[in-house]
């Protein structure tokens, strides 16, 4: 449980129950504060736990220093993520010195990975809940508050989904939300410990997902981003085959829905029916996240990744050909055990040839408990990082060129924040996923006598507007306001 440097994922976020979910939680106990780390799937788990506390009548605070109970929802995907989680736990544990903090609960992947040893190594922690036991949080909080519960842990339960999800509480008041459609993973990627932390793949039932989508849209959400360990595997355990197309078609009919976005798709589970959804589903944005990990078959075989590169490349080129204007995102790993210079050059060439709009690159990290940890042929740490930096440098040039091609275009943008003092708003167009793909910086500039009048005021968060792209960097776009689309 030792790490070296801060994890590269978004930093710890304090969650505030302000946006959706049942109203009227005015319990006198608490209050409870949430800190969550890691991926969007973890964020959804935290929002579900917030909802359960809200329904139980427990008060929730955005101020960790004022809390009687702090819940730290952890990530343990790689060593650096564990280090970040431990740092967040220790930060919360220091509050016990003031006497105000009465209970510290650690949830998520870290306790699932290390079990009761977390209690031994960090004695300030009172209770552990693994990903399969999160529904028990209200009872744990009550027990810690009234003194009827002693230190302990509830782990396991990864062979099933939680009980049917009720209304969750969004962590931020915005028009965009993640929609988790399954948990666990059946792939055996050599570098990944997710099946150990999350169990086998389990799809949420269609009706349950659609009911949640209706709740979200009824609360003002207009964009849902589908997340899971492998979104394209949805339905394999329900229908005997991948059925994400069926789910997308059902979501496309939800009233109030404007954008549907796909993240975390595996190239193995793409089907003709899913590709066709981009043409027949009006709300499915032309965007696909397909982590390819590498372009060398020899590396992919050692990673236990299928299909072979030629099949993945064919899928990517097909999407470019059949889905006009599609925006593609991927992730790759450099320095995997046994990666030769020839392998790396093949990866580097792929980045230039396929021209992904967005790409994340990670230097390989040895993780205990994975098949890759036992492989020989280690690539030196410095070389792994150098290769990652070379990939990112090439991708930066690709992204800059593709973004510059958008200058002059009129795009629809969802506004996410406004800085009235600086006179700018920030948002995203359909080709940018929340939190990972950059943003559009919007100013209400007058475009000149040949254009219609432009409102001087900035649009508010959650508003959809039409903007004209006026500038581009490798990540962000600059734009001026054309017209408001909707609120």
List 333's β-bridge partners, or say none: 362
Same domain, 243 and 126: no
Q: Rounded to whole angstroms, how far apart are CA atoms 400 and 476?
A: 9
Same domain, 35 and 82: yes
What is this structure's pTM?
0.88
Same domain, 249 and 386: yes
- What token pair was written down for 432? 């940018």
Same domain, 431 and 482: yes
> How many domains does one find in the chain?
3
Same domain, 355 and 229: yes
Q: pLDDT confidence of 30, banded at 50, 70, 90? A: confident
- What token pair was written down for 103? 């209970």
Same domain, 435 and 449: yes
Q: Is 398 contained in some domain?
A: yes
Q: Are 424 and 433 in contact (CB under 8 A)?
A: no
pLDDT in the model for residue 159: 74
Residue 243, phi then psi, degrees to nearest 5: -140, 30
Q: What is the mean pLDDT of residues 224-242?
A: 96
Q: Is 389 contained in some domain?
A: yes
Q: What is the mean pLDDT of residues 475-481?
A: 92
Q: Is 7 contained in some domain?
A: no
* Strand pairing category for 464-472 and 223-227: unpaired
CA distances from 369 to 79, 199, 245, 325, 396 (A): 12, 14, 34, 41, 34
CA distances from 191 to 27, 162, 337, 346, 444 (A): 45, 27, 10, 20, 47
Q: What is the mean pLDDT of residues 172-178?
A: 80
pLDDT of residue 29 exceeding 90, the answer is: no
Same domain, 182 and 148: no
Same domain, 294 and 376: yes
Q: Are 477 and 403 in contact (CB under 8 A)?
A: yes
pLDDT of residue 456 exceeding 80, the answer is: no
Q: Is 88 contained in some domain?
A: yes
Q: Which domain CATH number covers 92?
A: 3.40.50.12160
Q: Is 60 contained in some domain?
A: yes
Q: Which domain CATH number covers 391?
A: 3.80.30.20
Same domain, 436 and 328: no
User: Which positions ≥6 away from 112 have C-beta within 8 Å?
Assistant: 76, 130, 131, 132, 155, 158, 196, 197, 198
Task: Output the CA torsion 450→452→457→461 (10° steps).
Answer: -110
Same domain, 52 and 84: yes
Q: Is 171 contained in some domain?
A: no
Q: Is 218 contained in some domain?
A: yes
Radius of gyration over alpha carbons of the chain, in Å?
23
Q: Which domain CATH number covers 424?
A: 2.40.50.140
347, 377, 404 - which closes a domain: 404
- What token pair was written down for 148? 């009827």
The DSSP call for residue 293 is B
Task: Read off the pLDDT of residues 110-135 as tens digits, 9 standing for 90 and up.
Answer: 999 999 899 999 999 999 999 888 88
376, 404, 432 - which closes a domain: 404
Same domain, 47 and 119: yes
Structural domain harbouring 318: 176-404
Q: Which residue has the tokens 């979501």?
A: 251
Residues of the chain above pLDDT 70, percent: 88
Q: Is 59 contained in some domain?
A: yes
Burial of 442 from C-beta contacts in 10 A (0-12 / 13-18 / 19+): buried
154, 189, 205 - which closes a domain: 154
CA distances from 397 to 167, 293, 326, 402, 403 (A): 43, 20, 19, 9, 10
Per-position DSSP letters for 15-82, written without gaps between them: E---SSS------SS--EEEEE-SSHHHHHHHHHHHHHHHHTT--B-S-GGG-SEEEEEE--SSHHHH
Same domain, 398 and 414: no
Rounded to the nearest 10 degrees, the angle between the axes of helix 40-55 and helix 137-146 is 60
pLDDT in the model for residue 163: 61
């Amino acid at each position: 449980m030792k790490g070296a440097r801060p994890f590269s994922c978004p930093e710890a976020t304090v969650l505030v129950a302000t946006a959706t979910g049942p109203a009227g939680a005015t319990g006198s106990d608490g209050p409870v504060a949430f800190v969550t780390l890691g991926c969007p799937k973890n964020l959804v788990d935290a929002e579900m736990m917030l909802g359960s506390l809200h329904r139980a009548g427990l008060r929730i605070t955005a101020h960790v220093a004022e809390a009687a109970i702090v819940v730290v929802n952890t990530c343990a995907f790689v060593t650096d993520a564990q280090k970040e989680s431990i740092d967040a736990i220790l930060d919360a544990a220091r509050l016990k010195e003031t006497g105000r903090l009465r209970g510290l609960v650690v949830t998520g992947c870290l306790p699932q990975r290390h079990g009761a040893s977390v209690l031994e190594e960090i004695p300030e922690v009172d209770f552990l809940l693994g990903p399969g036991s999160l529904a028990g949080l209200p009872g744990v909080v009550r027990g810690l508050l009234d003194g009827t519960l002693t230190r302990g842990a509830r782990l396991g339960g990864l062979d099933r989904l939680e009980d049917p999800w009720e209304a969750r509480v969004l962590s931020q008041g915005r028009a965009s939300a993640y929609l988790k459609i399954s948990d666990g993973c059946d792939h055996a990627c050599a570098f990944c410990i997710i099946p150990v932390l999350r169990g086998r793949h389990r799809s949420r039932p269609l009706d349950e997902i659609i009911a949640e989508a209706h709740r979200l849209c009824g609360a003002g959400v207009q964009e849902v981003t589908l997340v899971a360990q492998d979104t394209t595997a949805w339905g394999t355990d329900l229908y005997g085959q991948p059925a994400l197309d069926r789910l997308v078609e059902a979501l496309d009919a939800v009233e109030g829905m404007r954008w549907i976005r796909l993240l975390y798709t595996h190239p193995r589970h793409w089907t003709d029916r899913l590709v066709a959804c981009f043409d027949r589903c009006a709300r499915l944005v032309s965007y696909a996240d397909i982590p390819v990990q590498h372009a060398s078959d020899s590396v992919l075989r050692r990673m236990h990744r299928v299909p072979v590169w030629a099949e993945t490349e064919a899928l990517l080129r097909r999407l470019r050909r059949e889905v006009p204007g599609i925006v593609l995102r991927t992730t790759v790993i450099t320095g995997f055990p046994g990666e030769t210079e020839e392998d790396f050059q093949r990866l580097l060439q792929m980045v230039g040839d396929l021209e992904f709009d967005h790409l994340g690159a990670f230097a390989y990290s040895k993780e205990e408990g994975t098949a890759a940890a036992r492989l020989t042929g280690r690539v030196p740490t410095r070389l792994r990082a150098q290769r990652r930096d070379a990939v990112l440098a090439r991708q930066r040039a690709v992204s800059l060129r593709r973004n510059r091609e958008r200058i002059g275009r009129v795009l629809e943008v969802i506004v996410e924040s406004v800085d009235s003092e600086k006179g700018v708003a920030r948002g995203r167009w359909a080709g940018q996923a929340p939190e990972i793909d950059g943003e559009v910086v919007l100013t209400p500039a007058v475009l000149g006598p040949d254009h219609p009048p432009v409102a001087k005021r900035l649009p508010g968060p959650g508003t959809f507007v039409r903007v004209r792209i006026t500038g581009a960097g490798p990540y962000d776009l600059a734009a001026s306001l054309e017209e408001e689309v909707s609120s």
